[in-house]
Each structure stands twice: as C-alpha cells, then as structure tokens.
Structure 1
Amino acid sequence: MLEKIRKKNIKWTIIKVVICAAIIAGVLIFTKMAPVKMLMGPEKININNFDLEKYEGKYVEVDIAYVWECFLEQETYTQYKGGGRSPGRTTALYYISEVNRDTYGQYIALLADGKQRMSQFDDILDATYVADANGYTPKSTSFKGTFLKLTGEEYTQYKSYMNKYEVPVDWYADYIFKVDNIGKCDEATVYITSAAIVIAFLFAIYSLYSGLSNRYTKQLRKYATENGITFEQICTDLDRAYTTGSTWLLPKFTVYVVGNRVKIVKNEDFVWAYYKEQRTNNKGIVTVTRMVMLGNKNKKLIPITVGSEEEAGSVLQFYADSQPQMVLGYNEELKRMYKKNYEQFIMLPYQTVARDEDNYGENNYSENNYSENVPENNNSQENGFSEEGFTEENSFAEENNSAEEEESDYNSFEKNNFTL
C-alpha cells in the first residue's frame, strides 16, 4: 500500500518539478532574461561615446547631463460606460536627450515614468538651459535603463516633433532610453516576474523534498506512537485492509490520501457518516467533488474525497458492517440533532424501529436507512439517501463561483493617451 503511494508521490513530484521548470523558462523567455540581467547588474557605459546599435536592449548605467525638451506626455484616465471620462493625469513624460557628444552628437528620446522621475528630469531640463546659457557643462546624474528602438505611437510622435522643427535626419537617432527599464520590461514587471521565478524554484525544491522523503507517512508514524504500536504493524494491517480507491478501511482505523500525504483516523472517534456531492460552477465549467463526510465526537466534519458514488457506497457499507456507533445517512433533522442535541443523536444507532419507517423522527433511527439497493422510483430524501446513494437533502448544493456584477452607471477601465 505504502509503496503504491510512494510511486504516486514520485510521479506527481516529477510533474510538479516539470511545471515549475516550464514556468521559469517561460518567464525568462517572455522577459528576454530581464530577471537575470537585473541580478547581474547594469553595464556602465559612457553616454558621450558608445555604439547605440551594440547596446540596444542591454541593461546599462549612464550619466545623463543634457535634457533639451519635453515633447510628449502619457496621460491615464478612466473611460465611463456612458461615454464620458474622468480628468486625465500625467503618468509619464518623453524628453529629448543627447548622446555621443564627444563625436558627432545625436538626439534621442528619453522616457521618465512616474511622478518622481518626471520631477527629476524636469530639474535636469532646467539645469541644461541654465548651463547652456552660461557656457558650462551641466552636472550629470546616473541612471539605469535600456536603449531601445522606437516603435508604434512613440516613434510616430517623435518623428512628428523632429519634422515640425525641421531637425536634420542625421542629427537624431530613432532610439529611446527608458529609465529603470530592464530590456523591454519596466522595473515593477521585473520584480514581479523575479518573484514568480523564486516561488517556482522554491516550490520545486519543496516538492522534491516532500516527494522523495518519508514525510507522507508522518501521520501514520505519529498514530503508531500515540497508540503504542509500531509503524510496521500499521503497514501489515494495511496490507489486509479493505481497499476502495485511495481509502483503506479496517475496523479500528481509516487511512486515506490528501494530496501527497497519508491521513489516518480512529474509527471509534466518529459517530456520523454520509455521502456528499459538491458542484462548483466556474464560468460554465462544472466541477464535481464527491466525499464521505465523517462527523466526530467534537462535532467536526472531516471529508474523505472519493472517486465515485460507488466508492462512497463501499466505504459507507463497510462502516455499516463494522461501526455500530455510527449514524449513517443525511437529512436536516440529523444535522440539527448533531449540532443541537448531541446526546440524543449518539443514541440513534441503539434504538429499534420498524424497517419500513419512512422518516427520521427525533426518536427514530433504523440501521437499514443506509442501503445501496434502494427502490428504483424512490426519490425521497427523507431516509438520508437518494436512489443514487447517500446525499444531502433537496439534491446537491451547487456553488457558483462566477459572480454576477451589479449594474452600475458606468464600467471603468484604464486607458493611456499620448498628447503633445
């Protein structure tokens, strides 16, 4: 039995590790190795004498002294359902900067994203004009970021600005320096994807440790110690246990699997058992979970997941044959009695009533209320089972996770708008 579980654990461990490796590889490909570049740190270069094409896409650190003009701003606003919009707020500014002043000199675009960076570059712009008017070199400030080719709306607006002021083509390059970017990713994205890589890596390590160690038998060993028996005795008992699916049944205890762990419970601690089917609907995808619910003396319900209704029936039949203290089946009266009148509830299995009794009354209980051979047309839930097996009264509760949003005057979403 344990060897079977061990092999299953190894199989699932391999699957988990492969999934984690795929996540890590996918993140690195999507970000073009940005987390690795961040880890290695930027390469320091001289902005006044370097090859733009050579350093395109690389994470670098440069000293910027010249900022000549702000030519474009990025505005964010909320679009309302009725057609209106909120007042816009500026979230990023595009400037004209300068590179390779030691050789031929070229203008390029520069992106400052966020309130702090925009304020910083506004100060550099002011300092540039003051220094130029007085004939000295402005003080430079160090920034990290990436040189990228201009594309899309950014390229269109940049070219429009240069043409408007009739700047010769050889005086500017179609590049932009994106401050704080690592490759094409902004700093926030890199931190999030780096966290995803770390989590995936740690989960893979944990999965390997859990899957290849004996942690899955921890509860069995604890049970053996607390009950004055050896772990080997439990293993021997399990080899002769009644098995259905991933549940092993013996008169003294029940063993079942949750994830990659083996759980064990003492049968004498439980006074109630019934079948429960739970349906969840997530955006049209219906998932059915089948369980045998065990109610203990502390009024706590413990679910044992089963693969089918037939499997649940086998478990309940075993309890019917071996656990005289258990009430089998479900209805609202039993639920109320279990919660509010426990002393009366635990006496139900020892009371005698006619076999053809239709309902659970406050003082009524029949050991034959659980049966797999229910009359074909009997749809009554009153005896704690349906024609398909033990179930909760009034059919199964369907949990719908697809929440419907309330109607409102508007639905809002964020948009970016470039303005000159």
Structure 2
Amino acid sequence: MLSTLRGKTSRATITRVVIAAIILAACLIVAGKSFLAFIAGPVRIESGMDYENLEGQYVSFDAKYVIDEFVRQSEQNTDTKVKKLKNIGYLLYFDEDAVFFGAELPASKESEMNGYIDTTWSWLTEEIGEVEGSRTLRGTWTALEGQRLKYFNETITEDLGEDYLQAAVPYYINTNAIGSNTISFTVMWAIVAGLSLLYLIYILVRQFTGSYDKKLKKYLSRHPEMSMETIEADFLQAQLVGKRIWVGARFTIYISGVYAEIVDHEDLVWAYYYRRTGRHSESTLRVFNTAKTMTAIAASQTEAEAILKIYADTLPKIVVGYDKDLEKCFNKDFQHFLDIRYNAVSQGAPVSQNEPVSPENGSEN
C-alpha cells in the first residue's frame, strides 16, 4: 500500500517541481539581467571608478551634496489631458572624486530632496562647516543624452560656472529602473521567483522526508486502536476508482496533492456529488461525519457516481445523494437527519434500500 501511495504522490511532486522550475525560468527570461542584478545587489559607487564601464549596471550611491534640479519630467493623462509631474532630475556632487553627475527620482521625493539642496547651498556659502547625513540612491547608471544632457550642462554652468563642466560626468542614476525594467516590475518578479524557489525546496524536502503518509499517521495517532496493518488490509481489498481513489470496506483512501488522505466510513452519515461550473468550478464528492465535518474529495462525475454506488451497496448507515430538504434537515435538525439512516441502522431498525440520487440532479449549483 505505502509503495503505491508513494508512487502516486511522487508523480504529483514531480508535476509541482516542473511547474516551480518553469516559473523560475520565466522570471529569468522576462526580467533577465534586471532580475539577476536585483538578486546580486547594487554596485556601490566609490572613488576612482571607471564611470563609463558602469553604464547599464545597478548601482548605489550615498548622495551627500545635492546642488539643484536640472530636469522635470511630466506625463499627460490621455483622457483628461491633465499633466502630472512624474520625475525630477537632480545634480549631485561627489566630493571624493570632485565630479558631478545626476540622479532621477520620483516627484514624490521632491520635498525631501529640496531639504538636501538647501543644506548643500548652506555648505557652499559657508553657512555651515559640514553636511551631515546622506540619501542612499539605487538605480541604473544611465548615460545622459539629448535634452537631459543639455539641461544638465546648463544647470552646472548657471549654478557654478562654465569651468565646472570639465568635472561633469554625463551619467545619472535612474532610481526608477533596474537595467531595462522598472524597479516595481523587477521586484514583483523577484518575489515570484523567491516564493517559487521556497516552494520548490519545500516540496522536495517534504517528498524526501516521506511526509506523503503524514495524514495516515495523524489518523492513527487519533485512533490508537487502529494500526497501519489494519488500513493496509482494507486497502488491499479496496476498489480502485479512477487513478487515485480506493474505496474499501472501512476506509476511503485518496491522493490529494502530495498527500495520501484517509476517510473513516465508521462515522460517515452523508455523501453526495457536488458540482459547480464557472469561474470557481468544482467537482467533488462531499462526505460528512457525525461531527458534521465535511471532506471534499476531488472526483469527476463518473468517479463520484461509482463511489456513491459502492457506498449505497455497502454502507447502509449513510444517506447517499443530495436534495435541498436533506440539506435543510442536516443544518436545522441534525438529530432527525441521523435518525433517517445512521441511528436506525445502528439500532437494528429496518430501513429502505439506499438509492443514490443522480449526481446530475443532486449537485448544487
């Protein structure tokens, strides 16, 4: 029995491993270098670096001196035609190399960056001796071109003088991007990849530690009078329905995901086929016990019909099939529901032949 169940759950595990691997591969394909750069972390800009060789890389920089804005980028709503400020480019000074380059941040950071500009000019005009604190910026090291480069050079000339253009490095940190993708896009795929990797590790560990039978062991821990040998003996004479459901005299054992699940017939009181179509479609065999606990076993209509027929023929205490009156009785007057078959059979009273309601007519909609 255990080898059969292990084989069935192993196939389910392999399917999940393949799906997780496909998702991981998709993350690499879709996000590409941006994804890898995000995982590896940014390259820190330090003194003496070759700025040209940094182009396109994900970098970080502790901005201490912010001279001024040099460009503003707006976007227009196509419906309302209203323009909204999106990004602002700032002129930065890197004192260790005595060079200037840019950084582009979302407009939402304007107030914060204005504070750095005010502090920097207080330092330039010698109102303060030193600038304390810095703003860590992360983004893609991008070449300044076209209008951005023009405004960058003009800002240096207007604020500091033309002589300072020789210290200009025509690059800026695009804090909205990692590589060719936006940060939000890259982070989203990184989260998906991380969750997929964790799930992959989880299912592999679970498979190799033999946890496929944990539900059987949990049942045995709650029923010390039972043994694995008892379950196996019932399994060996059980009828196989479909490829993953075994209906025995005492137990129904079925595969759910990567687990072998077990249902004890002893306390079952009701069983019927449930089908729901549409967006949240479902096709299950629903069974209820004396505690009114429902177990839903994934099954096709054909499989459910076969199982209900077995239940009707071999388990006289179970009400087989669904109708609204039965459901109302089950929910409102459970004791009376038990008297229909469960209590009557237990007390030796005669009951009518258990005729299963057709799953087609008995399914809920």
Distance 2:140 2:284 in 1: 58
What 5-or-longer segments of structure 2 have no aligned partner?
345-350
1:324-368 Cα distance to aligned partner (Å, 9 max, x none): 11122211111112222333333334999xxxxxxxxxxxx8526
Offset of 1:111 from its aligned partner?
1.3
TM-score, with structure 2 as normaliser: 0.76
- Residue aligning to 1:73: 72
- Residue aligning to 1:218: 214
1:309 aligns with 2:307: no
Offset of 1:278 from its aligned partner?
1.6
Amino acid at match of 2:353: E
- The answer to whether the 8 A contact 1:277-1:391 is kept is no
- The answer to whether the 8 A contact 1:28-1:35 is kept is no
Amino acid at match of 1:263: E
- The answer to whether the 8 A contact 2:234-2:249 is kept is no
SS in 2 for 1:211: helix
Distance 1:325 1:259 in 2: 30
Distance 1:32 1:299 in 2: 49
Offset of 1:232 from its aligned partner?
2.8
- The answer to whether the 8 A contact 2:317-2:343 is kept is no
1:124-165 Cα distance to aligned partner (Å, 9 max, x none): 4334445555699974846343452348xxx55414536878
Amino acid at match of 1:34: A
Offset of 1:322 from its aligned partner?
0.8
- The answer to whether the 8 A contact 2:234-2:251 is kept is no
- Residue aligning to 1:45: 46
- Residue aligning to 1:201: 197
SS in 2 for 1:324: coil
- The answer to whether the 8 A contact 1:96-1:109 is kept is yes
- Residue aligning to 2:293: 300
Offset of 1:21 from its aligned partner?
3.6
Offset of 1:193 from its aligned partner?
4.6
- Residue aligning to 2:174: 178
What 5-or-longer segments of structure 1 have no aligned partner?
353-364, 371-383, 398-420
- Residue aligning to 2:148: 158
- The answer to whether the 8 A contact 1:59-1:144 is kept is no
Distance 1:220 1:328 in 2: 25
- The answer to whether the 8 A contact 2:138-2:175 is kept is yes
TM-score, with structure 1 as normaliser: 0.68
- Residue aligning to 1:96: 91
Amino acid at match of 1:330: Y
Distance 2:126 2:330 in 1: 90
Amino acid at match of 2:264: K
1:91-144 Cα distance to aligned partner (Å, 9 max, x none): 6421233569958x5x543213364x5344323433444555569997484634
- Residue aligning to 1:343: 335
Distance 1:233 1:130 in 2: 85
Q: CA RMSD in A?
A: 4.0
Number of aligned residue pairs: 346
- The answer to whether the 8 A contact 1:272-1:296 is kept is yes
- Residue aligning to 2:362: 392
Deviating more after overlay: 331-340 vs 133-142: 133-142
Amino acid at match of 2:194: V
1:23 aligns with 2:23: yes
Offset of 1:318 from its aligned partner?
0.7
